Structure formats: C-alpha cells, structure tokens
Structure 1
Amino acid sequence: MSAAPDTERSTESHDVASDAPVLEARGIVKRFGHVEALRGADFTVRKAEVVALIGDNGAGKSTLIKTLSGVHAPDEGEILVEGRPVRFSTPVDARQAGVETVYQDLAVADDLSVAANLYLGREIVRAGPLGRIGLLDKRAMRRGAAEALSQLGVRIPRVTTPIAMLSGGQRQSVAVARAIIWATSVVILDEPTAALGVVQTERVLDVVRRARDAGMSVVLVSHNMPQVLEIADRVEVLRLGRRAARFRADDVTTDELVAAMTGSLVTETDER
C-alpha cells in the first residue's frame, strides 16, 4: 500500500486505529482494454465506522466498489477481509465473505413482500418432510423480518406489504436493511439517497447510523458533500484511479473535499 507523507492528517482515533481493517484494498489495478480505471487504488474500512468514498465522475469509484463486491476481478493488487487475502470471482464470493452491496437500482423484487425480499435467496424452509420438498416457513421469515426492521428503525406498514406499494424511501430502507442483516463485515451503499426527498433521506441515513452503532462497517458512495460530512466518520477521496486523500469527517470542510477531488489539495502520495 502506498505510503502517506508526514504531513497527512490523522484520520482515525487511537481506538479505531488499533483495530485491523475489516476490508482493505491494496494497490488495485483494473483495466478495460486500453483504459486503466484503477491505477493502484487503496481503500480501508475499519470496524463500526461509516467511510465515505468520494470522487469526481471518472475517478474510479464505481469500478472500485464493483471490484470490492466481486463484480470485477482486479488485474493487480489484493483485497483483504479482516486481514486475510481473498479473491472474489463473483458477487456470491463477496457475500460469503460478509461483504454486501446495495446499488442505485436496488435490485428488489416489486411483486414480492418485504419479508420475501429480505430473505430472497436465503429462504427458510419448513422443518421435517415439508422442508425437504421445498416448502417455505413464511411465518418464520415474517417474524425475522419484523424483528430485524424494528431493530434498524425501518418503518413500513407490514412485512407482508409488496415492495411495489412502498414509497421510494421505504424501498431504499428495505434494500439497505437487507444488506445490513446479511452482512458480517461490510455493507457498501452506492448513492443510497439519490432521488429521495428530505424526510426519506433522513430515514435511510438513520438506518445507516443504527447499523454503525450496532457494530457494522458501512461504505457510503456519495456526491452529496454535506450528507457525507453529516454521517461519515472518515472520508477517502479517489482521483484518477488512486486514493488521493483521507480525512476525519469532523476535521475537514466541503471546500477541502472538493479541492482533494479536483487535485488542488493533495494529502497522500503513491511511492510505488
């Protein structure tokens, strides 16, 4: 991983820094033909923190999160989960390692209920002979869904309500909750409040806060700088396919974030 100069700002408290990262990217290179989308990108997520990943269009954010979530395999570099090198060939590999991702298109099934969406691909089958022929334990899934959503503060009419009947904020909250429920290491959220109103946005962000407070690590990809500073513990800036800067969220301004994104403020160098 690239070394930072002595002038780089401290980005973590002593307690956080003493913990090994739950997810780390080191020197990730990803090429698409002659285009090098990632040029030795580094990224670090520690336990029970919200890390914002920001950068201008074309900085490589989407490519990095797709690499971390198993959509793309890196051409060079390594990914570590809780200090152990891993290789993700598919998103299933990432999920099995505890990394869940929510993209902007949500990937929820409109015709299914909230409970069915939360357990999609992880359905509970009934005990005994009925389970062996594939019958689902819908009561158990409804009960589990209600308990999980209550813990995360997600407010919906009923867990039996079809997703299509929910508001945009409720749909987004369910998608985020599903990722949080099943993740064991990190949840990656790609623009989770895009196109939402003020009230709906705050509800989604509250789910993120509750997840962080419960010990989950969250990666927030966003263009909304005020929102980033409101909810993130740390901010990592990607520029031209590399990490350009790292900040504590309570120690940086919007202007400084924009400067780091555009290259007029540099707090990290790459010595590879």
Structure 2
Amino acid sequence: MTRVVRTPLLSVRQVSKHFGAVEALVGVDLDVHAHEVVALIGDNGAGKSTLAKVIAGVLSPDAGIIERDGVPVTFSSPSAASAHGIATVFQDLALCENLDVTANVFLGHELRTGGGLLADGEMERTTRRILQNLTVRIPSVRTPLHNLSGGQRQAVAIARTLIGEPKVVVLDEPTAALSVAQAAEVLTHIQGLRDMGLGVVLISHNMNDVRAVADRVEVLRHGRNNGSFRADVSHETLLAAITGAA
C-alpha cells in the first residue's frame, strides 16, 4: 500500500534567532498539519515565545526557512503572516476593554457599507456565527468586554483571529491566570479550531491542558528541539525532556 504523505500547513526548518550573544533559537524544526493541535512546551527561556513571534512575523529569523503548504515564505510583519493564513493570540490579547464583543472581533478590520458607514448588522451576524462555531457562550455580541470573564475574553481574542480565515492559529499561554472552569472553556474552543480544520500551535506551561487537547507535543530546551511526543506520553517523560534529564 502506498503511504499518503500530507504536506504540513506550516513548516519551520532549521530556524535560528540570536539576540546578541544569546541564542534564543538554534536550528528549530516544527510541523503543523490541518486538524491538529501541536503543543509547544519548555521551561522559561526555552524559546517558545520567540518561535511564536517568528511564526507571527513579529521577529525575523537569522537563519532557516518557513514554509506554508510546502512553499517557502517570508514574513516581514504580522500583516504579512496574516496574509499567508497565520494568526497569533499573544498573552496580552490586544483587546479594548471599553468596546463590545463585535467591535473587538472586527477591531482594525471594520466592515463598511457602500456609503462608508459601519456595517453593524453584518459584523454582528458574523461575530455570532464565529462564536457559535467555537461554542462560545456570552450574554450578547454587544456586551462590553469589561463585563466578560477571563475565559470569555480569551474566546473573543480567538474569534478575532478567524475574521481573516487563517489556516494556522498560534496561541501563547491561552489559559494562563484563568480559573479551572474558564480554562476548560478555552480548551473547548481550541478543540473547535481543530474540528474546523485549522492547525493550532498551543504554547503552554500547563501539562494537564496540553494532555487534554494536544495531538502532538514538541519540547524546546535552551532554544533547541528536545523531543517530539504523542499526546498520550507520560508526564514523567515530558518533564525529563523539559529539564534535560532524558
């Protein structure tokens, strides 16, 4: 039988990034496929956030290549990465507390009518559809952000990435500082992204979250790959890879 080899949605090949004498990333490889959640884990300073910023177009790598659907691409900015179907949600979320859910979802990408007015109705309908697809429960798409829980705000940030119809979504510590119940909601939304056919990169320190939703776990240590594992790997094995005891 001929084995079918799937081309990854995103491939990182031998990517390196230095800050002066500090080697943040050294020859890192990463593949992300459709319908897949890849967890990226490691201790503080392992290079996780640096890699996320390279993928997001915030930082330019010093060496290596990034491929989208097998084609080499260069991201000179976050908008360039977005144009290639890559969206990133960083820990600060970049949302506006004084605006409602719809305004936050379309922030910077507002729709307008032929007369130049805001197309409020269309934006509300689109926001409802996206939130329903992610199984997000909020009082209303006109609810001000400051009235939402931390988990709901994270969901709005994720929903905002879907306006550009990305193929890959990178989530940097999406459950940090959330309660157990709120974190569970966010993990459900991450599974929703996978079910929609997207590739998801999940950066997290929480091993329970990783094991709950990841299909594959990639470990970074001192800016280098230090193991690739199935999601059913033991906690002890992952800890050994993170600490270098393996």
CA distance in 2: counterparts of 1:206 and 1:180, whole angstroms:
16
TM-score, normalized by length of structure 1?
0.87
Q: Is the 8 Å Cα contact of residues 171 and 200 (structure 2) preserved in structure 1?
A: yes
1:21 alignment partner AA: P
Aligned to 1:101: 88
> Which of these residues, 212, 228, 235, is aligned with residue 254 of structure 1?
235
Aligned to 2:8: 21
TM-aligned CA deviation for residue 35 of structure 1 = 1.2
Aligned to 2:118: 136
TM-aligned CA deviation for residue 184 of structure 1 = 2.2
> Which of these residues, 32, 36, 45, is aligned with residue 32 of structure 2?
45
> Which of these residues, 137, 150, 158, is aligned with residue 168 of structure 1?
150
Q: May I ask how many residue pairs the two structures share in their alignment? A: 245
Q: Is the 8 Å Cα contact of residues 180 and 216 (structure 1) preserved in structure 2?
A: no
Could you list the runs of 5+ residues in structure 2 that have no partner in the other structure? none
> Which of these residues, 63, 83, 90, is aligned with residue 76 of structure 1?
63
TM-aligned CA deviation for residue 212 of structure 1 = 0.5
Q: Is the 8 Å Cα contact of residues 180 and 211 (structure 1) preserved in structure 2?
A: no
TM-score, normalized by length of structure 2?
0.96
Residues 199-210 of structure 1 correspond to what in structure 2 (within 5 A)?
Answer: 199-210=181-192
Aligned to 1:56: 43
Aligned to 2:77: 90
Aligned to 1:217: 199
Aligned to 1:122: 109
Q: Is the 8 Å Cα contact of residues 99 and 185 (structure 1) preserved in structure 2?
A: yes
SS at match of 1:117: helix
CA distance in 1: counterparts of 2:163 and 2:188, whole angstroms:
15
Q: Is the 8 Å Cα contact of residues 238 and 245 (structure 1) preserved in structure 2?
A: yes
CA distance in 2: counterparts of 1:182 and 1:152, whole angstroms:
15
CA RMSD of aligned residues (A): 1.4
List per-residue Cα deviations over 1:47-81 (Å, max 9, x = no partner).
11000000111111111110010010001000111
> Which deviates more from structure 2 when the two are superposed, residues 48-57 or residues 169-178?
169-178
Aligned-pair identity in percent equals: 52
CA distance in 2: counterparts of 1:158 and 1:226, whole angstroms:
31
2:219 alignment partner AA: V
Aligned to 2:244: 263
Aligned to 1:147: 129
TM-aligned CA deviation for residue 181 of structure 1 = 4.2
